[in-house]
C-alpha cells in the first residue's frame, strides 16, 4: 500500500518507535526494512533500550 500509492517516494528518513512487539503491530516491519534497504539504498539502525 505504501509503495503502490507512492507514499514513501520523497521520504529521506524513517524513524520508528517500537514499544511492544505484538505481531499485529509490527507484522509489516520486515517489508519496510527491505524497501528501505533495496529501494531507498539507505538504511541505518539505532537502538535505545528503555529503562
Annotate 17-35 with DSSP letters as a single string.
--S---HHHHTTHHHHHHH
If you ran DSSP here, which 8-state letter would residue 40 be given? Answer: S
How far apart CA 40 and CA 43 sit, in angstroms, is 8
Is residue 36 within 8 Å of residue 14, measured between CB atoms? yes
Cα–Cα distances in Å, from 17 out to 25, 43, 45?
A: 11, 15, 12
pTM of the model: 0.50
pLDDT tens digits for 7-41? 777 777 777 777 777 877 777 788 877 877 787 77
**In the chain, domain spans:** 1-40
Amino acid at each position: 500500500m505504501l509503495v503502490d500509492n507512492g507514499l514513501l517516494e520523497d521520504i529521506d528518513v524513517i524513524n520508528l518507535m517500537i514499544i511492544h512487539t505484538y505481531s499485529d503491530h509490527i507484522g509489516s516491519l520486515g517489508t519496510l526494512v527491505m524497501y528501505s534497504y533495496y529501494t531507498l539504498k539507505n538504511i541505518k539502525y539505532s537502538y535505545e533500550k528503555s529503562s
